Amino acid sequence: MKKYISYLLLCFSMILCWQCEDFIDVRPENSPTYTNYFRTQQDAEALLTGLQTRVKAMAAEGYWLDSWGILADKDPYGSIPNQLNPMYAKRPWDKCYQVIYQADLILDNAHRFEISEKEIRPYVLQANFAKSLAYFYLVRNFGEVPITQGSTKFSKLPQSPIGAVLDEAEKYGLRALDLPVYEEMVEQSAPAARMKQYGSKGAAVALMAHICAWRASVEGKSEYWEKAEEYCRMIIDGEAGNYRLADTPEEVCTNVMRRDSDESIWEIYFNSFDNSLRKIQLVGFPLDASNWALPGNNSKPYISKATVRRMYPEGDLRRDAYFWATDADKVYLNHSAEGAVASMVPGDSVIKVIDNSAIEQAYLWKFRYPYYKKYDYDPQPSFQGIDQNQVVWRLADIYLLRAECRARQGKSNAAEDLNKIRGRAYGDLNRNALTAQYAFPCADDVKNGLAGNIALAIYREREKELLSENHRWYDIVRNGWCHLRGEDPYDYIREEISEAYAKLTDQDIYDGALYFMLGGMCFSDNDLIRQNVYWNRVTQ
C-alpha cells in the first residue's frame, strides 16, 4: 500500500508540474488531502524522483544550445536558426518552473513528514540545488523572470529584475552547499544508488562558481570574480569531492564524455532505453553511416578541416581525439553484421571508398557511443542518437573558469590553469617536458594575436576543450558583457556568433537581444508578463 501511495504521489506531483506552465493558476482542488501523503521516506523518495525527472527534462532541452553559439563553418540546409528572427527565438520557460514547483513541494512540506530531521534533510538539500539551478537557467536564458512564492501561493506575478533572480539562485545554491560529496552519497544511498545527476557538494560548488562568474560579468559586480575563483579552488583542491583530470584527450572522449568519470562533476543521465536520446548538432558521419549522412550528402552544420587544423595545431592531441580522419586521404565503408561501418582502413568487404581529401567537412568524433535501432522496412540499422550522459560540468571547465576569474582580476597566475589544460592536450598533463611548446604565451598565441589578451586566450581554450558541450554561447555572453563595460578589447558578441549579431548596437544588447524571446506560453493567464524591450521593439 505504501508503495502504491508513493506511486500515486509521484504521478500527481508530475501532473501538477505539467500544469505549472501556467504556474500562477495551479490550485490543486484536493490539496488538503494531498498533504496527508507527506509522511514516510518512501513518499519523500517519490517526490525526489519526480524532481529528478523534471531536472532532466529542463537540462535535456538544452540541445538547442548547440545552435545558439554553435561553432560551425557551413550550414548546408539552414538548420541553424537565425536566433534574432522571432520565428526561431521564441522559447517557453515551463520546464524551469516545473522544477521550481516540484522543489517547493519538498521544501514547503518537509515539516509534515513523520521521519527525523536527519532523514528528510537529504531531500531538502536536493530541492535547494534544483531550485537554484532552475533560477540560474531562467536568468541566463530569459533575463527578467517571475520569482514564485512557493507551492501553495498562486497569483499573477510580474518579472523580477535580473539581480533579484540571481539573488534567488544564489540563496538556494548556498543552502545546497551542505550536500555531501558524491562519494559519500554513493556509500550512503538508499533505496537506489545515486547518480551524478543528483546534486552533490561538488555539483553545488560548481553551480555557485558559475552563478558568481555570471554575476561578475553580466551584472558588473566585480567582487564576484573572487568568489567564483574560490568556489573553483574548492573543487580543484578536493574540498568538494574527489575529482581528477583524465590523463589524455582520448580518455576524455571514451570515458569522461560517456558517464560517471572522475573528471565529471554533474551530468544528466541518458541511456539507450531513454525516450529522449541525446541529439548533438554536429554529430553525423562516421557515427551515422546511413546514405543521407555520408560526406557530400550531409544536411547538418559542420566544422571544416581547415578550422580544425587551425584550432588544434600540430601536437594538440585533441585534433585526432575530437575529430575523425581529418588527415586521411581515403575512408571506407565496410560491411558488417550491424550494417555499414566507417573506417580509415579497408575491410574484407568494402561497400564504398570515399575520397576524403576532396571533402571539406571535418567529422566530430568526441562522442563515441551511438545508438542504433533496427526497423523492419530497412536492412540497415538506423542511427538514433548518442547513448551517453550530458556532462554539464567537469573539472577541465572549472580549471578554465578559475583562469578566467583570475584574468578578470588582473592576477599574474591566470595562465597556470590555462597551461594545465593545454598540458593534457599536448600529452604533458604534469607540465614536465613540453612547456615551451604550449605554455601561454607560446608561438601559437603570438601568431593568433592572443599574447596580449589572456582572457581571450582562455576563451579560445574553453572553445577548444569544451567543444559541443553547450558552453560556448554562455562563454560569449559572459565575456561579451566585459567588453561592453570596456574591460576587454575584444568584441565577443559581434565577432563570435553570426552576422546578425554583428549588427547589434550596444543598446540592443542592453535591451535584451541576448535573451530568448518569450513564447506565448509565458504569457498564459498572466497579463503582468512583458516581452523585453528589444523583442518588443523588433516585433512591432
For 9, 19, 303, the CA distances from 307, given in Å and listed in that order, are 52, 46, 7
Grid cell 531550485 is found at 131
User: Among 64-73, 113-122, 149-158, 254-263, where is mean pLDDT lowest?
Assistant: 64-73
**Which of helix, strand or coil describes residue 219?**
coil
Q: Does the pLDDT at position 252 exceed 80?
A: yes
Q: Does the pLDDT at position 378 exceed 80?
A: no
Q: What average pLDDT does this structure show over 509-515?
A: 96
**Which of helix, strand or coil describes residue 462?**
helix
Q: Does the pLDDT at position 540 exceed 50?
A: yes
The dihedral built from the CA positions of residue 27, 29, 32 and 35, taken in this order, carries a sign that is: negative
Who has greater pLDDT, 308 or 88?
A: 308
For 160, 488, 505, the CA distances from 511, given in Å and listed in that order, are 15, 21, 10
Q: Using one digit for the tens of pLDDT, what is the confidence trace for 18-28?
A: 444 443 333 34
- For residue 237, what is its C-alpha cell? 583542491
CB 359 within 8 A of CB 298: no
- For residue 512, what is its C-alpha cell? 535584451
Q: What average pLDDT does this structure show over 31-44?
A: 74
**Which of helix, strand or coil describes residue 176?**
helix
H/E stretch holding 371: strand 370-373
User: Among 168-182, 249-263, 388-402, 512-526, where is mean pLDDT lowest?
Assistant: 512-526
pLDDT the model gives residue 455: 98
- Residue type for position 340: A
Q: Does the pLDDT at position 30 exceed 70?
A: no
Q: Using one digit for the tens of pLDDT, what is the confidence trace for 180-214?
A: 999 988 766 544 456 899 999 999 999 999 999 99
Q: Does the pLDDT at position 86 exceed 50?
A: yes
Q: Using one digit for the tens of pLDDT, what is the confidence trace for 91-131?
A: 899 999 999 999 999 999 999 999 999 999 999 999 999 99
pLDDT the model gives residue 349: 87
Count the neighbouring beta carbons within 10 Å of the beta carbon of residue 514: 26
Percent of the chain past pLDDT 90, that is, above it, reads: 61
Strands (E), 38-144: 90-91
- Using CA atoms of 108, 111, 115, 116 in order, give the dihedral in degrees to the nearest 10: 110
Q: What average pLDDT does this structure show over 127-153?
A: 94
Q: What average pLDDT does this structure show over 444-470?
A: 95
Spell out the domain ranges in the chain: 291-388
Residue 9's pLDDT band, with cuts at 50, 70 and 90, is very low
DSSP code string of 304-370: BHHHHHHHS-TT-THHHHHEESTT-SEEEEEEETTEEEEESS--SSEEEEEEGGG--B-EE-S---E
Grid cell 560551425 is found at 72
pLDDT the model gives residue 79: 62
CA–CA distance, 403 with 168 (Å, rounded to integer): 26
Q: Does the pLDDT at position 515 exceed 50?
A: yes
Q: What is the rounded end-to-end Cα distance, in angstroms, of the chain?
A: 57
**Which of helix, strand or coil describes residue 403?**
helix
pLDDT the model gives residue 525: 80
pLDDT the model gives residue 429: 76
pLDDT the model gives residue 204: 98
pLDDT the model gives residue 23: 39
pLDDT the model gives residue 186: 75
pLDDT the model gives residue 20: 44
Count Cβ atoms within 10 A of the Cβ of residue 540 and give its class: 0-12 exposed, 13-18 middle, 19 or more buried.
exposed
Q: Does the pLDDT at position 534 exceed 90?
A: yes
Residue 255 DSSP label: I
In sequence order, the β-bridge partners of residue 278 are 386
**Which of helix, strand or coil describes residue 415?**
helix
Q: Using one digit for the tens of pLDDT, what is the confidence trace for 317-364?
A: 999 999 999 999 999 988 876 677 888 998 888 888 999 999 999 999
Residue 10's pLDDT band, with cuts at 50, 70 and 90, is very low
pLDDT the model gives residue 194: 67
Q: Using one digit for the tens of pLDDT, what is the confidence trace for 263-317?
A: 999 999 987 777 656 777 788 889 888 777 888 777 788 999 999 999 999 899 9
Q: Using one digit for the tens of pLDDT, what is the confidence trace for 383-431?
A: 888 889 999 999 999 999 999 999 999 999 999 999 999 999 999 877 6
Q: For all residues of the chain together, what is the average pLDDT?
A: 87
Q: What average pLDDT does this structure show over 10-31?
A: 42
- For residue 149, what is its C-alpha cell? 512564492
